[in-house]
A and B are shown apart, each in its own frame.
Chain A
Amino acid sequence: MTFFVLLAMLLLGISPNAPAQDNLSISANLSTDRLSVDDAARLLITVHGAGSAGIAIPEVENLLFHRRGQHAKMQNTNGKVSSAITSTYIIEPLEPGNYTIPPITAEVDGTTLQTKPLRLEVLSRDEISTNGSNQEQPATSPTGLGTNEICFITIDGLPQKAYRGQILPITIKIYFRRGVRAELDTLPEIVGDGFVLSPLSEDPRQTRETRNGKDYSVISWDSSITPIKEGENTLQIGIDATLLLPGRRNIDPFFNDDFFNGFFGRIEKKRISRKSKPHNVAIDHLPQQGRPADFSGAIGSFDFQVAATPQTVEVGEPVTLTMEISGKGNFDRVSAPAFPTGQDWKSYSPTSHFQSKGSSYQGSKIFEQAIVAKNSSLNSIPALSFSYFDPERREYVSAASRPLPLQIKAAAKPQRPGSAAPGQSTPLSLQDSSKEQDTSATKATPSAPPAKLHLTATDFTRKIVPVYRRSWFITFFLVCTATLGIVLAIALRRRFIATHRPFFSRKQLRKDMNTGFARLQQAMENNEEESFLRVCREIIQHRLASAWNMEPSTITLHDLQRRLPEDSPLIQIFSTIERNAYCGADKTQMDTREMNDISTMLQTSLEDIP
């Protein structure tokens, strides 16, 4: 801030030290001279007649001084300029005691100014409680900034009278002054033993409020408390929190400014404990008069409904009875209405679940109970009742259901073999007939254990794991996948060949021709005339079959004569081959040179075939 004031003064052509030296003065004020060890006091140091000053804060044992800023004020009265600079410090006491803050000095252009010593009394928490100075509301001192003003707690919605066990919805609010950085070390807790607080959410609502013209950040919980002690009880809510205060710096005076403070100031933590204002609540006990026999402690306002499914059963078949109790109240004390058992009915333990409507004291508690009719003459499920205490009406209320119609048929199927009815003993003996044995009772048990007992054990495994983690499953899967891949690859290859048949035919033909000529060469080298001629014939047939789209074995000399030019060497070669093959008398004897000539001629002639 000083930086900007100096800048403004320079722009206005005013020297920072323009005011006369004889107008220089200094004053120091504390917001309070008595405070709790958990509180903080504000110290204002004002230097009159100066635009800047080097203020030296003395060290005091167990007192910490946190610089919070500085502001300057200028006045121009009839051309006479006066200025004042005010520095603000927060004093944080560490220990209770009486402190004297020595004179604070300020250096202005070589002139040293001094304040008077200040006295400060710091009280312990106990002293504060005794004196009743720990208030819920913020301190009202116009300059004070105690931690009571920084943080306080309120409880909303608390009645003056209630019953023991009654759920009382409340809203707990923790106020922090806007701009104050703080951390909650604990969730709000009840101070004292007359009430039980419902578990609070770890994600409270956060809002902003203005109280007494000051802005606060508010953390609030909608919760409930339950009185557990009769008589006049005091309710207080307490928290522990840590305030994050800017620490004191000892760096160049140029940076001794709020603007830089935010960047360079270190954070110091101050733990505080806060309690709300005590609230007195008169807790009464529930009246004995008119208390129903089935009252289980439910206090609130409830509705009661009953349903049953199925509505047509055989004797021995279970019917599910659904009992829903909805409304507001202490649902933890709401228990299932008792089902009247006897000769006609067997009932099982009910299960229950709670469907909340935003809080633990508002919603529906649903009980499900299996009941079994023992008698086919029954035609309805008996009426059930649920009793509770209504705190508004200050009386007990019994809500009853109507009997539910039920059609019961005689049992059509016999009981499963081996399933002993509950309560019936099962014979127990040791026999080893088929790896399993029926067990007979050497002593009667109220409810017989299952009848089968294994005398051998097989199929051991170390761990119950899903089959997809077993090695055989993984291997089997991989083998199948690999096989499928190969099968698909083969199929695709076949399809590809079929699609590109001309290309592959030519390729195959070239391959066949090369093989044929290799065999021809072999025959020549071995001087095997017969073999040579046979291979020649095969080569011609194969090549021409490919060109004429015929089967190689069906190609004859006649075909050659019909489809090739008359002077084609192939006709001559094929004719020689035919003659040698079929006319043994005129067989010509060929030597290697002749065979070589024929081979060369054959190769040349076949190249001309399209």
Chain B
Amino acid sequence: MNVPRLLTVVTAAMVWLVHLAGNPVVAGDTLGLQEQLHDANRHYVEGSYDEAVAAYTRLIGQYGLSPELLHNLGNSYAGDKRYGSAVLHYLRGLRIDPGNDALEADLAKIREEIGLFDEPLPLHKRVVTLYDMNQWLTGALVSYALLTLVLALRLRFTGSKAVVPLSLLLTAIICVCGVAAYRQHHNWNGAVIVKPDTHLLLSPFASASSTGKLLQGTVVYNEKKHDGYNYVHDTRGRSGWIPAPSLAPINTSSLTYSRGSAER
């Protein structure tokens, strides 16, 4: 294939894909959305947090997940002192819009409110947790695209000395992003404790002895399930059985909201 033509095709494809990526699903009519959002916000401002929660939940069920709606819903839960659900929705918002300053600030504030403080992490873990899995993977993909572009340009400009160091640099970035994304993949499937007084149990029975208590808003990771109980562990290494209704997965779909089960 002609090299300039190849470069043109690749660039066009990338531009199209970037355009595609920047246009996620938009559902429903904007006017209806605005009116309903205004109503939901009014409930919030009036301090009717239960009604605000119901209104935002309906909106998400109807139009889809949006960082703004999830943020408002999290605020409503926080106003209603359902801190676990507030943390859950802030985290869901951050999944869609990683690095959102407002969401991060409110999440930090609510965690402080309920006494959830982050453990000091070693340097490599701090680096890995700078971005979430999606961000690391996007970084790896962009580096991969650039590497492809550099190697394609090398066909045209054979004498360039910058190609080798640039290729090595991009390869290193791909490796770093890949490793970090792999490490963050574990955190991707987390769940949040949404019920107060959740005890870790020795076995999956109501009569089982408690081995500890988890604050609502704590992020835990599922290991197995048994008859209405989930075996979980948290970032501090605590593990045990907890009743399934006590936790809600961070990853969700708008379908769960349309069924009226926002905390599931």
Q: Does B225 contact A (CB under 8 A)?
A: no
Q: Does B75 contact A (CB under 8 A)?
A: yes
Are B117 and A370 neighbours in the complex by a CB distance under 8 Å?
Answer: yes
B158 CB to nearest A CB, Å: 9
| Residues of chain A contacted by B37 (CB below 8 angstroms) | 455-457
Q: Interface extent on A, as a size class?
A: 35 or more
Q: Which residue of A lies closest to B201 (CB)?
A: A199
Q: Does A405 contact B (CB under 8 A)?
A: no
Give complex CA distance A470, B24 in Å: 10
Q: Does B164 contact A (CB under 8 A)?
A: no
Q: Mark B113-128, 1 if CB is under 8 A from A, else 0.
A: 1110100000000000
B1, B133, B145, B209: residue with the most chain A Cβ atoms closer than 10 Å: B209
Are B65 and A449 neighbours in the complex by a CB distance under 8 Å?
Answer: no
| Residues of chain B contacted by A349 (CB below 8 angstroms) | 114-115, 215
Q: Does A512 contact B (CB under 8 A)?
A: no
Are A454 and B209 neighbours in the complex by a CB distance under 8 Å?
Answer: no
Stretch at the interface among A69-77, A247-255, A481-489: A481-489
| Residues of chain B contacted by A453 (CB below 8 angstroms) | 41, 44-45, 72, 75
Are A461 and B64 neighbours in the complex by a CB distance under 8 Å?
Answer: yes
A454 CB to nearest B CB, Å: 4
Are A459 and B137 neighbours in the complex by a CB distance under 8 Å?
Answer: no
Q: Which residue of B lies closest to A444 (CB)?
A: B47
Q: Does A582 contact B (CB under 8 A)?
A: no
Give complex CA distance A487, B95 in Å: 36
Partner of B105, one of A351, A418, A442: A418
Q: Which residue of B lies closest to A199 (CB)?
A: B203
Q: Does B262 contact A (CB under 8 A)?
A: no
A360 CB to nearest B CB, Å: 5
| Residues of chain A contacted by B252 (CB below 8 angstroms) | 463-464
Contact residues, B1-42 vs A (CB, 8 A): 1, 3, 6, 10, 13-14, 17, 20-21, 24-27, 33-34, 37-38, 41
Are A458 and B65 neighbours in the complex by a CB distance under 8 Å?
Answer: no
Are A450 and B133 neighbours in the complex by a CB distance under 8 Å?
Answer: no
The B contact surface, by secondary structure, is helix
A425 CB to nearest B CB, Å: 11
Q: Which residue of A lies closest to B238 (CB)?
A: A353
The verdict on A442 contacting B117 (CB below 8 Å), with A455-B41, A460-B26, A480-B148 known, is: no
| Residues of chain A contacted by B137 (CB below 8 angstroms) | 466-468, 473
Are A480 and B41 neighbours in the complex by a CB distance under 8 Å?
Answer: no
| Residues of chain B contacted by A332 (CB below 8 angstroms) | 209-210
The A contact surface, by secondary structure, is mixed
Are B68 and A458 neighbours in the complex by a CB distance under 8 Å?
Answer: yes
Give complex CA distance A401, B161 in Å: 68
| Residues of chain B contacted by A458 (CB below 8 angstroms) | 66, 68
Q: Does A27 contact B (CB under 8 A)?
A: no
A332, A456, A480, A484: residue with the most chain B Cβ atoms closer than 10 Å: A480
Give complex CA distance A480, B147 in Å: 9
Q: Does B59 contact A (CB under 8 A)?
A: yes
Are A360 and B202 neighbours in the complex by a CB distance under 8 Å?
Answer: yes
The verdict on A452 contacting B106 (CB below 8 Å), with A457-B69, A463-B254 known, is: yes
Give complex CA distance A354, B212 in Å: 6
Partner of A476, one of B17, B71, B205: B17
Q: Does A301 contact B (CB under 8 A)?
A: no
Q: Does A207 contact B (CB under 8 A)?
A: no
Q: Which residue of B lies closest to A473 (CB)?
A: B141
Q: Interface extent on B, as a size class?
A: 35 or more
| Residues of chain A contacted by B160 (CB below 8 angstroms) | none
Are B20 and A463 neighbours in the complex by a CB distance under 8 Å?
Answer: no
Give complex CA distance A185, B124 in Å: 52
| Residues of chain A contacted by B14 (CB below 8 angstroms) | 476, 479
Contact residues, B206-244 vs A (CB, 8 A): 207-215, 218, 236, 238, 240
Q: Does A331 contact B (CB under 8 A)?
A: yes
Q: Does A462 contact B (CB under 8 A)?
A: yes
Q: Does B261 contact A (CB under 8 A)?
A: no
| Residues of chain B contacted by A420 (CB below 8 angstroms) | 109
Partner of A450, one of B110, B117, B209: B110
Are B41 and A353 neighbours in the complex by a CB distance under 8 Å?
Answer: no
Q: Does A419 contact B (CB under 8 A)?
A: yes
The verdict on A460 contacting B65 (CB below 8 Å), with A349-B115, A351-B213 known, is: yes
A488 CB to nearest B CB, Å: 8
| Residues of chain B contacted by A473 (CB below 8 angstroms) | 21, 137-138, 141
Q: Which residue of B lies closest to A439 (CB)?
A: B45
Q: Mark A315-349, 1 if CB is under 8 A from B, else 0.
A: 00010100000000001100000000000000011
Are B21 and A472 neighbours in the complex by a CB distance under 8 Å?
Answer: yes
The verdict on A490 contacting B3 (CB below 8 Å), with A457-B69, A466-B133 known, is: yes
Are A484 and B209 neighbours in the complex by a CB distance under 8 Å?
Answer: no
Q: Does B162 contact A (CB under 8 A)?
A: no
Q: Which residue of A lies closest to B63 (CB)?
A: A460
A439, A450, A456, A477: residue with the most chain B Cβ atoms closer than 10 Å: A450
Contact residues, B54-102 vs A (CB, 8 A): 59, 63-69, 71-72, 74-76, 78-79, 81, 92, 95-97, 102
Are B72 and A462 neighbours in the complex by a CB distance under 8 Å?
Answer: no
Are B66 and A487 neighbours in the complex by a CB distance under 8 Å?
Answer: no
| Residues of chain A contacted by B10 (CB below 8 angstroms) | 479, 483
Give complex CA distance A216, B261 in Å: 55
B190 CB to nearest A CB, Å: 12
Q: Does A356 contact B (CB under 8 A)?
A: yes
A262 CB to nearest B CB, Å: 38
| Residues of chain A contacted by B105 (CB below 8 angstroms) | 416, 418-419, 450
Are B238 and A462 neighbours in the complex by a CB distance under 8 Å?
Answer: no
Are B1 and A462 neighbours in the complex by a CB distance under 8 Å?
Answer: no
Q: Does B173 contact A (CB under 8 A)?
A: no
Partner of A479, one of B13, B92, B253, B254: B13
Contact residues, A124-140 vs B (CB, 8 A): none
| Residues of chain B contacted by A368 (CB below 8 angstroms) | 236
Q: Which residue of B lies closest to A361 (CB)?
A: B209
Q: Which residue of B lies closest to A417 (CB)?
A: B105
Are B211 and A457 neighbours in the complex by a CB distance under 8 Å?
Answer: no
Partner of B200, one of A331, A353, A439, A487: A353
The verdict on A465 contacting B251 (CB below 8 Å), with A442-B46, A487-B148 known, is: yes
Give complex CA distance A186, B181 in Å: 47
| Residues of chain A contacted by B254 (CB below 8 angstroms) | 461-463
B195 CB to nearest A CB, Å: 14
Are A419 and B109 neighbours in the complex by a CB distance under 8 Å?
Answer: yes
Are B45 and A464 neighbours in the complex by a CB distance under 8 Å?
Answer: no
10 inter-chain pairs at a CB distance below 8 angstroms, sorted by A residue, are A349-B114, A351-B218, A366-B212, A416-B105, A439-B45, A442-B46, A449-B49, A453-B41, A459-B67, A464-B253
Residues of A near any B CB (own CB < 8 A): 196, 198-199, 318, 320, 331-332, 348-354, 356, 360, 365-366, 368-370, 416, 418-420, 422, 428-430, 436, 439, 442-443, 445, 447, 449-450, 452-468, 470-473, 475-477, 479-480, 483-484, 486-488, 490-491, 494
Residues of B near any A CB (own CB < 8 A): 1, 3, 6, 10, 13-14, 17, 20-21, 24-27, 33-34, 37-38, 41, 44-47, 49, 59, 63-69, 71-72, 74-76, 78-79, 81, 92, 95-97, 102, 105-106, 108-110, 112-115, 117, 133-134, 137-138, 141, 144-145, 147-148, 151-152, 154-155, 185, 188, 200, 202-203, 205, 207-215, 218, 236, 238, 240, 250-255
Question: Which 9 pairs between the two chains have the least Cβ-Cβ distance?
Answer: A348-B115, A353-B212, A449-B79, A354-B211, A454-B68, A460-B64, A353-B238, A463-B253, A450-B106
Not counting A476-B14, A476-B145, a sample of 6 additional A-B residue pairs whose C-beta atoms are within 8 angstroms of each other reads A360-B211, A464-B65, A464-B250, A476-B141, A477-B144, A480-B141
